[in-house]
C-alpha cells in the first residue's frame, strides 16, 4: 500500500462524505481529518515476537445523520521490533532485533458525545491488510546476508475509545484500541493495543461550502 494509494482512498472517502451530507444538517462535527502518533503495544502471545515502536495512524471521521454516529476509516502504519519465532521453508535462520511494519485499512462505526469543549467517543469495526516481517538468507561462502521482507496478509477486528478537546478549528485527541488478527502471524494470534495522540482538524465548514450550504 503506497502513499498514493492511501491518499486516493482518503480522497474517495471525502468525496463520499460530500455526497452523503447533501441533506440539511445542523451537525458541527460532519467531517474531521485525523492524524496521530504514538506506540502500539503487542499483548498476549504477540509480545513473544513483537515489541512497541513509534507508530502513525491517519484517518477520517465522517458524520452520519443528525446524532452522534460517524464513519471511521483508518489507516494503521504501526511499527514493531521483531524477533522471529518460526523458520520459514527454504530458510535456515530467524531474524532477531529486526523491524516489522503494518499497513492496515480498517472501517469502523463510531459514536461521539460532546460535553462543552470535550467529546468522548467509541468505535468498532474491521478491515485488513498486510504485516511486513524480515527474513534473512546467509551465504557462508561469500560471508553475506541477504535481507528480504515477507508479506503476511491478515484480517483485523478493532474496537476502541477516545477523548477529544476542542481548540477552535480542530480537536486534540487521545485514543486507545484493541486489534486482533484473524490469521496467525509467526504461528501465533496477532493482538495489539495502539495508543495514539494527535489532532483532528474540523473540515465541517469546508464540507458545507462544497455541498452548497
Q: Nearest 5°: phi and psi at 44?
A: 60, -140
CATH fold, domain 3-16+28-210, is Porin (2.40.160)
Question: For residue 27, what pLDDT is reported?
Answer: 75
Q: What is the pTM of this model?
A: 0.82
Question: For residue 63, what pLDDT is reported?
Answer: 92
Cα separation, 87 vs 51, whole angstroms: 19
The answer to whether residues 129 and 104 touch, using CB atoms and an 8 Å cutoff, is: yes
Question: For residue 211, what pLDDT is reported?
Answer: 62
Closest CA to 110 of 144, 63, 151, 169: 63
Question: For residue 202, what pLDDT is reported?
Answer: 92
Question: For residue 8, what pLDDT is reported?
Answer: 54
Question: Which triple of cell numbers denotes residue 168?
Answer: 477552535
pLDDT tens for the chain, 213 residues: list them: 554 554 454 445 445 444 444 444 567 888 999 999 999 999 999 999 999 999 999 999 999 988 899 999 999 999 999 999 999 888 889 999 999 999 999 999 999 999 999 999 999 999 999 999 999 999 888 889 999 999 999 999 999 999 999 999 999 999 999 999 999 999 999 999 999 999 999 998 776 666 665
Amino acid at each position: 500500500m503506497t502513499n498514493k494509494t492511501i491518499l486516493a482512498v482518503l480522497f474517495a472517502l471525502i468525496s463520499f462524505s460530500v455526497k452523503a451530507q447533501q441533506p440539511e444538517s445542523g451537525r458541527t462535527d460532519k467531517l474531521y481529518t485525523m492524524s496521530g502518533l504514538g506506540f502500539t503495544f503487542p499483548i498476549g502471545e504477540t509480545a513473544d515476537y513483537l515489541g512497541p515502536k513509534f507508530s502513525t495512524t491517519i484517518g477520517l471521521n465522517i458524520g452520519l445523520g443528525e446524532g452522534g454516529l460517524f464513519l471511521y476509516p483508518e489507516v494503521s502504519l504501526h511499527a514493531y521490533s521483531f524477533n522471529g519465532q518460526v523458520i520459514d521453508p527454504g530458510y535456515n535462520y530467524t531474524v532477531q532485533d529486526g523491524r516489522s511494519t503494518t499497513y492496515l485499512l480498517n472501517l469502523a462505526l463510531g459514536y461521539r458525545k460532546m460535553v462543552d469543549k470535550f467529546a468522548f467517543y467509541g468505535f468498532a469495526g474491521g478491515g485488513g491488510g498486510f504485516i511486513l516481517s524480515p527474513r534473512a538468507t546467509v551465504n557462508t561462502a561469500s560471508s553475506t546476508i541477504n535481507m528480504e521482507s515477507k508479506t503476511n496478509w491478515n484480517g483485523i477486528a478493532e474496537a476502541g475509545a477516545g477523548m477529544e478537546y476542542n481548540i477552535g478549528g480542530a480537536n486534540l485527541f487521545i485514543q486507545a484500541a484493541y486489534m486482533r488478527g484473524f490469521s496467525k502471524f509467526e504461528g501465533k494470534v496477532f493482538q495489539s493495543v495502539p495508543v495514539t495522540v494527535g489532532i483532528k482538524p474540523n473540515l465541517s465548514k469546508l464540507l458545507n461550502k462544497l455541498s452548497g450550504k
